[in-house]
Amino acid sequence: MTQSIVILAGGGPAPGINTVISTVAKTFLKDNFRVIGLHEGYKNLFKSNPKFIDIDFAYADLIQKMGGSALQMSRYKPKDEEFNTDFFVNNNVKLLVTIGGDDTASTANRISKFLAANNVKIQNIHVPKTIDNDLPLPEGTPTFGYYSAKEAGVRISQTVYEDARTSGNWFLVSAMGREAGHLAFGMGAACHYPMIIIPEMFYNTDVTFDRILKLVISAMLKRKVLGIDYGVAIISEGVFHFMTDEEINNSGVNFTYDDHGHPELGNVSKAHIFNTLLQKRIKELGLSIKSRPVEIGYEVRCVDPGAFDLFYCSILGYGVKQLFDEGVSGAMVTADNKGEVKPLYLKDVEDENGKVKPRLVNMNGEKAKLVFRDCLQYITPADYEAAKKYVANPEDYDFKKILNWQ
Are residue 258 and residue 342 in the same domain, yes or no?
no
Domain assignment present for residue 207? The answer is: yes
For the stretch 362-386, pLDDT in tens is 999 999 999 999 999 999 999 999 9
Domain assignment present for residue 386? The answer is: yes
Are residue 311 and residue 259 in the same domain, yes or no?
no
Q: Which residue has the higher pLDDT, 112 or 123?
A: 123
Model confidence pTM above 0.85 = yes
- Pick from 81-95, 307-321, 347-361: least confident: 347-361
Does residue 263 surpass a pLDDT of 90? no
Domain assignment present for residue 110? The answer is: yes
Residue 139 is part of a domain; what is its CATH number?
A: 3.40.50.450
Are residue 293 and residue 323 in the same domain, yes or no?
no
Catalytic residue positions, numbered: 132
Tell me what pLDDT residue 369 has.
96
Are residue 218 and residue 103 in the same domain, yes or no?
no
Tell me what pLDDT residue 337 has.
86
Are residue 171 and residue 242 in the same domain, yes or no?
yes
Are residue 123 and residue 109 in the same domain, yes or no?
yes
- Pick from 39-53, 148-162, 313-327, 391-405: least confident: 39-53
Are residue 268 and residue 390 in the same domain, yes or no?
yes
Domain assignment present for residue 257? The answer is: yes
Tell me what pLDDT residue 265 has.
59
Tell me what pLDDT residue 18 has.
98
Domain assignment present for residue 185? The answer is: yes
Are residue 275 and residue 322 in the same domain, yes or no?
no
Domain assignment present for residue 172? The answer is: yes
Are residue 9 and residue 97 in the same domain, yes or no?
yes
Are residue 38 and residue 86 in the same domain, yes or no?
yes
Are residue 263 and residue 399 in the same domain, yes or no?
yes
Q: What percent of the chain has pLDDT over 90?
A: 71
Confidence grade of residue 42 (pLDDT, cut at 50, 70, 90): very high
Domain assignment present for residue 385? The answer is: yes
Are residue 226 and residue 168 in the same domain, yes or no?
yes
Residue 262 is part of a domain; what is its CATH number?
A: 3.40.50.460
In terms of residue numbers, what domain contains 189? 150-301+376-403
The domain tally of the chain equals: 2
Contact residues for 376 (Cβ-Cβ < 8 A; gap 6+)? 193, 194, 195, 196, 219, 399
Confidence grade of residue 262 (pLDDT, cut at 50, 70, 90): low
Domain assignment present for residue 208? The answer is: yes
